Amino acid sequence: MTAPATLHERILDWYDDHARDLPWREPSASAWSVMVSEFMLQQTPVARVLPVHEAWLERWPTPAALAAEPSGEAVRAWGRLGYPRRALRLHAAAQAIVERHGGEVPSAYDALRALPGVGDYTAAAIAAFAFRARHVVLDTNVRRVFARVLGGTELPTPSVTKAERELGASVLPEDPETAATWSVAVMELGALVCTAAKPGCARCPVGDRCAWQAAGRPAYDGPVRRPQAWAGTDRQCRGRLLAVLRESTGPVHRSALDAVWPDPVQRERALAGLLEDRLAVQVGPDTFTLPG
């Protein structure tokens, strides 16, 4: 394996020259800004997150500001980012931060991990990026870079493995500040150069040290990865129904929901799912609204 020091120098130098200017990376960015970005960036491109993140921080600059509002307002402000349960989880996390931590985003991994909606990756990312702590941060982009450069495979396994964590720890710089920058630099390399499709190997700062490149770029031969369908799915139906609720300032009659999706069986199933997930509430025999 290539010496970690070589990887550090090349990737960190590349990051200095190519890092995108993102608000949650600014030196003045609050821990809350970083936390909001991590929730929003899950399965959502940066370009779609930027305007929503800006509007969110303008309206709710602190966890306490969000916690004081009904959870339905978080869902409304989430807009079309997708996976709206993230909005409910972020709202619940804000309430927990107020109740447990005096309104300040905690810096310790264990305290972050105990917040609603915060898993291993999110806790490590907030600790590293907001507080410059030394943690292994393994998102999809980082895992892909490590799989190729260090493991010689095109793509990582569907789920994070113990071996991946150990590999990530083995190349993590010892200095916490450098480790935090390293984590975001590898993430950026995966987002901009070492992409899932059509990787820019000629532009990669460690292309000549990449095990996958040296092996002739063998095709992925692991478990089949099926792209998620959208058109005609229950997810699309839920999105249409939720959009009607978001855009209304009061209760919505069932007829308005009927108008946006023709299949009554699928529509009722999707509506039942929204109610079960507490993304919607029934306030009358045939009227619905966002949670209060």
Which H or E element spans position 153? none
Q: Token digits for 228?
A: 């998620």
pLDDT in tens, 49-84: 999 999 999 999 999 999 999 999 999 999 989 899
Model confidence at 134, in pLDDT bands (50, 70, 90)? very high
| pLDDT at position 193 | 98
How far, in Å, CA of 183 to CA of 198, rounded?
A: 23
194 φ/ψ angles, rounded to the nearest 5 degrees: -85, 60
SS3 80: coil
CA dist list (Å): 32 to 19, 27, 53, 169:
21, 13, 11, 26
- The answer to whether the beta carbons of residues 279 and 291 sit under 8 Å apart is yes
How far, in Å, CA of 151 to CA of 143, rounded?
A: 10
How far, in Å, CA of 236 to CA of 85, rounded?
A: 14
Name residues whose C-beta falls within 8 Å of residue 110's C-beta, 6 or more positions apart in sequence: none
pLDDT in tens, 85-105: 999 999 999 999 999 999 999
% of residues, the chain, pLDDT over 90: 92
- The answer to whether the beta carbons of residues 70 and 91 sit under 8 Å apart is no
- List the catalytic residue out of 38, 73, 164, 188: 38
Inform me whether the pLDDT recorded for 220 exceeds 90: no
Does the active-site annotation cover 69? no
CA dist list (Å): 105 to 145, 170, 180, 279:
30, 29, 18, 25
- The answer to whether the beta carbons of residues 271 and 263 sit under 8 Å apart is no
Question: Of the ranges 199-203, 219-223, 243-247, which one carries the lowest mean pLDDT score?
Answer: 219-223
pLDDT in tens, 146-173: 999 999 999 999 899 999 999 999 999 9
How far, in Å, CA of 98 to CA of 282, rounded?
A: 29
Residue-range domain boundaries for the chain: 234-289
Model confidence at 229, in pLDDT bands (50, 70, 90)? confident
Q: Token digits for 203?
A: 């532009």
| pLDDT at position 252 | 96
Q: How far apart are the first and last CA of the chain?
A: 55
Helix pair angle (71-78, 85-101), 10° resolution? 130
**How many other C-beta atoms lie within 10 A of the C-beta of residue 117?**
17
Inform me whether the pLDDT recorded for 228 exceeds 80: no
- The answer to whether the beta carbons of residues 41 and 49 sit under 8 Å apart is yes
* Positions of E strands within the chain: 252-253, 281-284, 287-289
Token look-up 């972050």 returns: 112
How far, in Å, CA of 133 to CA of 127, rounded?
A: 6
Q: Token digits for 222?
A: 């692991």
Token look-up 């915060």 returns: 118
Closest Cα to residue 93, out of 53, 66, 132, 126? 66
Domain 234-289: top CATH class: mainly alpha
